[in-house]
Copies of this chain bind each other. A is one copy, B any other.
Amino acid sequence: MLVVQKYGGTSVGSLERIRAVAQKAVKCKKEGNDVVLVVSAMSGETDRLIGLANELSESPKEREIDMLLSSGERVSAALTSIAIEALGVKAMSFTGRQVGIVTDDFHTKAKIKSIDGARVREALKGGHIAVIAGFQGITNDFTDVTTLGRGGSDLTAVAIAAALKADLCEIYTDVEGVYTTDPNIVKKARKLDKISYDEMLELASLGAKVLQTRSVEFAKNYNVPVLVKSSFKDVPGTLVTKEDKEMESVVVAGIAYDKKQTKLTIRAVPDRPGIAATLFDYLSRSEIIVDMIVQNVSIDGKSTDISFTVPTTDAKKALNITKEVSAELGAKGVTYDDDIVKISVVGVGMRTHSGVAAKMFKTLSEKNINIMMISTSEIKISVLIDAKYTELAVRELHDTFELENADATIHTDVS
């Protein structure tokens, strides 16, 4: 079997832990597998380096940030390789460039365009464990180093697993798997044995921090089975895989919440065709991702309010753009609210089961929680509510959908 194992920053956060990673990799190798490791920078290192850059400049160039940050994974890859060799097994470290992870040139958030992997294949053939520096790639013409954004090491692991046609991609992390919701909020939260790519994708993009969205997309597109498990405890994890019958019978697989959203409202904007298009065109040109949108019905037939949410990290930029557009369009101004949370219920079973939304809304209204915005997809329903109700809403919904029971597959009686 060809196994890719990815270890995050905490898992390689000290020499002791690097030794443990080496032992785990060697064990897997001795069981007869070909083993590829992908490692993150030692925990704290990336933040330390960004901190240094920010002390020197308010707006360090992203190309330089990539040069700076990519050093962290080189260090952990080399150290892990050295630790494996110390156990008597051949190992070799590789940078993103050496693996041939070619990306576009959007520094600090580059997208993978292709992976060669020839040197990794060669190393495996020679009996080595290959240790790859995660999170990094190289621009098309092999000139500059790029990084894939936070959590990019997951993407490296899944992408290299796809390129090498690995049988399994194991993501070792500081949680034990994917839970029905955040166990810090709901003690009864249950670890899932299996979850579909689509559900994981929704959960990831909705704020669950276990796996990075892009890596789940990649896994889905290339059908890479991803096993999320604990780096520290030897317990079964959660397998992220193709949808199957069993999964479809579960209406709600999990509940996610995301506090890192900001709501902007452009007030009393003249209600004529193309207004919204103008605004969202400006925002998308600045690469700001708008999530939920509500345009109020025009009361006087002349003006309307448009509310939308953006990631809090982009809120300042979005606010400036929206203010400009507001002035241009003759609107009354822009208001700003980041004291909000997006709560989402997710499950592929929704495709075939109705009434989930109604049940969700009823639960919230019974607790007097006001819903500001709603958005839905085939397999999820998200609502925007006041941030102070986060824990209450998540707990109540977890109860309503009986997520603590592994066999809670009978949610067809809703509404």
Interface residues, chain A, with chain B CB atoms under 8 Å away: 15, 18-19, 49, 52-53, 55-58, 60-61, 63-65, 67-68, 70-72, 74-75, 77-79, 81-83, 85-86, 92-93, 95, 98, 119, 142-145
Known contacts A71-B74, A74-B68; is-contact A82 B98 (Cβ 8 Å): no
| Distance in angstroms between the alpha carbons of A72 and B75 in the assembled complex | 9
- What's the least CB distance linking A62 to chain B, in Å? 11
- B83 close to A77 (CB less than 8 A): no
A-B contact pairs, 19 of them (CB 8 A): A18-B56, A53-B78, A53-B82, A56-B79, A57-B86, A60-B85, A60-B86, A61-B82, A64-B78, A64-B93, A65-B78, A67-B74, A67-B95, A68-B74, A68-B75, A68-B78, A68-B82, A71-B74, A95-B145
- What's the least CB distance linking A65 to chain B, in Å? 7
Q: Using Cβ atoms and an 8 Å threshold, which residues of chain B touch A58?
A: 86
Partner of A82 from the list B60, B72, B74, B142 (CB cut-off 8 Å) is: B60
- What's the least CB distance linking A67 to chain B, in Å? 4
- What's the least CB distance linking A179 to chain B, in Å? 34
- What's the least CB distance linking A38 to chain B, in Å? 15
Known contacts A68-B78, A71-B71; is-contact A15 B98 (Cβ 8 Å): no
- A98 close to B143 (CB less than 8 A): yes
- What's the least CB distance linking A66 to chain B, in Å? 8
- B74 close to A56 (CB less than 8 A): no
Q: Using Cβ atoms and an 8 Å threshold, which residues of chain B touch A60?
A: 82, 85-86
Known contacts A74-B70, A143-B98; is-contact A53 B79 (Cβ 8 Å): yes
- Chain copies in the assembly? 2
Q: Using Cβ atoms and an 8 Å threshold, which residues of chain B touch A119?
A: 143
| Distance in angstroms between the alpha carbons of A71 and B68 in the assembled complex | 9
- What's the least CB distance linking A383 to chain B, in Å? 42
- What's the least CB distance linking A39 to chain B, in Å? 12
Q: Using Cβ atoms and an 8 Å threshold, which residues of chain B touch A55?
A: 15
- B61 close to A85 (CB less than 8 A): yes
A15-B52, A53-B78, A56-B86 given; 12 more Cβ-contact pairs under 8 Å: A52-B79, A53-B82, A60-B82, A61-B81, A64-B85, A64-B93, A67-B77, A67-B93, A68-B79, A68-B82, A71-B72, A142-B142
- The residue in A71, A83, A119 that gathers the most chain B C-beta atoms within 10 A of its C-beta is A71
The 10 lowest CB-CB distance pairs between A and B, nearest first, are A71-B71, A68-B78, A57-B86, A67-B78, A60-B82, A71-B74, A56-B83, A64-B78, A56-B82, A57-B82
- B98 close to A75 (CB less than 8 A): no
- What's the least CB distance linking A80 to chain B, in Å? 9
| Distance in angstroms between the alpha carbons of A19 and B82 in the assembled complex | 35
- Which B residue's beta carbon lies closest to that of A60? B82
- What's the least CB distance linking A133 to chain B, in Å? 8
| Distance in angstroms between the alpha carbons of A335 and B10 in the assembled complex | 50
Q: Using Cβ atoms and an 8 Å threshold, which residues of chain B touch A56?
A: 15, 18-19, 79, 82-83, 86
- A81 close to B93 (CB less than 8 A): no
- What's the least CB distance linking A128 to chain B, in Å? 11
Q: Using Cβ atoms and an 8 Å threshold, which residues of chain B touch A92?
A: 63-64
Q: Using Cβ atoms and an 8 Å threshold, which residues of chain B touch A61?
A: 81-82, 85
- Which B residue's beta carbon lies closest to that of A98? B143
- Which B residue's beta carbon lies closest to that of A68? B78
| Distance in angstroms between the alpha carbons of A71 and B60 in the assembled complex | 19
